[in-house]
Each structure stands twice: as C-alpha cells, then as structure tokens.
Structure 1
Amino acid sequence: MPAMPRPSDAETYANSAFDALLWALSRPGLPRSLPEAGESPIVAALLDRECRVHATDPLLLPEIMRTGAEIAEIAKADHVFLGTLTNAEPLSQVAVGSDLYPDDGATVILRGKIGCGQALHLSGPGVDGSLTVQIDGLPDGFWAARNARLRYPMGFDLFILDGADVLGLPRSTQIEVL
C-alpha cells in the first residue's frame, strides 16, 4: 500500500480556515468558527503569490508578505483587509469585476460584532427563505454603500470577522436594513 503524505500543521490550519470560509459564504448569515481569532487564518487560507492584497492595518503586512502576495492599491486588490472601518468610503474603491469578468470582484474582510446591533434581513442563494441577523461595529451608510456597488454578478464578497467567528455575505445576498 502506498504511503499517504501527511499534511503539515500549517496545511491543516489553512485547510480548516478555508473550510470555515467556504461554509460561511455558502450559508450567508450563519457564523462559522475559524481556527483562531483575527485575520491570520484568512491570510493562511486565501493568500498566495498569485494574489493582490490591500490591508489598512500595517501590522498585518508582514504576515501577508510571507505568503508571497503582492501588496496593491485597494482598487486593484483581489483581497481587501479593512480592519475596523470608521467610514464606508473605502467600499467605493473596491474592485467589483466587469460584465465579462465578474470574478474579478474583490473579497473584503472587515471587523464587526456579530449578534448585536443593526438588524439585517438576508435573502438569496444559500439562505433558506430569509434570515435576520444583527451586525454592529460598521459605519453609518455601510449597507447602502455596499448595495450601491453591486450589480450581480458584479460585486464583492464580504467576510465579517468577530474574534474567531466569521460571517460570509456573498455578492448574491440581498440585504435589507431593518
């Protein structure tokens, strides 16, 4: 019987984070747990030398650079780490793809509080009928700025990070502020 290679601890960590991120996007509004708190698991799961990345937190840059990813301006980034937002203006610069290449839309990662604050009504693919969630810690006008940038299939996918919990909101999810 041939020997099967064993994954390293780093591969197991990245795979666990990737699984949580995929699950979170496929079931919008339902939080999933990452292997540890913060952006590190997301960096390990999503970034490699073929990615362009923008990060507002300079402390995250060394970790991103270890992946070999290219540091880019926000408008050219595949992955945008916004940390804690104080205003919604950066969303106006995030790549949303084009009619021909909607997959060029970015993945946006930001911090928020899941389970308290602003009530949102979610519907669309992956949502069983509809779902109401609460998210706090985002600036005024955030959801209006997000909705203004989407024209499905163009848009950006969003991960909201709360410690080790992550909530995914793909561009296909319709969000109504309650």
Structure 2
Amino acid sequence: MLAAPVPSEFESRCNATFDALMWALSRPGMSRDLHDTGQAQIVDALIDRECAIYCDTPERTQHAARSGAAPVSKDAAEYLFLENPVTPDLLPRLRQGSDLHPEEGATVVLNATLGIGQDLRLTGPGVDGSIDIRVAGLPDGFWRTRAQVMRYPMGFEIFLVDGARILGVPRSTVVEVL
C-alpha cells in the first residue's frame, strides 16, 4: 500500500491561491476568488528564497522575508507587492526580460477596485474576442503607459487584488481604455 503525504492547511491554501493566480492569468479580465483578502496569501503562494522582491509596506516586507526572499529595489524586483497607490512612472522601470529570456519580466501585484471606475476592453490570448471590465484605484495614464512600454514577448504580468478577488493581466493582453 502506498502512502501519500497529506498537505497541511497552509500548503492547501497556498496551492489554492496559486491555482487562482494561474487561472486569472490564463483568462484575462475574469476575476477569481481567493480564500482570504489581501496580498499576504499571494506572497505565500509565489515567493521563496530564490526570488528578488520589492514590497512597499514594512508589514509586507517582513512577511515576505520569512520566505528567505531577497529584498531589492523596484527596478531589480522579480515580484513587486504594491499596496499603496502607484504612479505610471513606475512601469518603464520594471523588469521586462529580453527577447531571449522574456520570463525574466516582473510580476506586479497591485490593489485596485474591480467593477467600478475606468472602462477597459481586453483582447488577446485567453480572451474570447474581447472582454470589458471596470477598474478603479489606478492612476490616470496607467494603461496608456503600460501600452507604450510593453514590447511582447517582453513585458510584465499584473495582478489586480480587490479584497478576496484577483484579476490577471498578462503581458500578451492588449488593454484599451474606453
């Protein structure tokens, strides 16, 4: 008889969060429910000691440090956890990878409000035609600046966190402001 390890409650939550993140990236514009509110669960699911991270709050930095991840500047970070409002000038400074290694682009986790605010139309892989969404909490010019700096296959992924919901915007998604 074979014995299979039973995951702990923490491991199960991390796996569920990781599944939600991957689902959100594979279906841009469609939000996915998380088991809890906030960005801490995303840190737990994604970050380990091999990651270079930037967090804009001391609490999140301390939380991420438990994984052994190296805190770095925004420009050098593989993962950015931004709980405070951002400015569009951040986007050109993010890691975008290279033609040879596009996977070295950053993953950015931002707080936003889904369902109200600016009207956006998303198209690209994972979207059946197009999908319209509404997002509040990001600065004016955010999506325009993103469009100007992205050069697919290089770029960065964005996760928008609204309480216990997450929405993914991969680098391959075109975002049109309506």
Name the residue aligned to 2:42: 42
Distance 1:117 1:84 in 2: 18
The TM-score normalised by the length of structure 2 is 0.97
Runs of 5+ in structure 1 lacking a partner?
Answer: none
Aligned counterparts, 1:45-84, within 5 A: 45-84=45-84
The TM-score normalised by the length of structure 1 is 0.97
Secondary structure of 2:99 counterpart: coil
Name the residue aligned to 1:136: 136
Counterpart residue identity of residue 143, structure 1: W
Name the residue aligned to 1:170: 170
Distance 1:43 1:149 in 2: 26
1:84 Cα deviation (Å)? 3.0
Structure 1 residue runs of 4 or more that deviate by more than 2 Å after TM superposition: none
Distance 1:162 1:67 in 2: 24
Distance 1:86 1:27 in 2: 24
Q: Give the superposed CA RMSD.
A: 0.9
1:81 Cα deviation (Å)? 1.1
Runs of 5+ in structure 2 lacking a partner?
Answer: none
Distance 2:90 2:108 in 1: 10
Distance 1:140 1:58 in 2: 26
CA contact (8 A) 2:56 2:84 kept: no
Identity among equivalent positions (%) equals 48
Counterpart residue identity of residue 23, structure 1: W
1:22 Cα deviation (Å)? 0.4
Name the residue aligned to 1:145: 145
Distance 1:48 1:9 in 2: 18
Name the residue aligned to 2:85: 85
Name the residue aligned to 1:17: 17
1:86 Cα deviation (Å)? 4.3
Q: Per-residue CA shift, 1:60-84, capped at 9, x if unaligned?
A: 1111000111101111111011223
CA contact (8 A) 1:96 1:149 kept: no
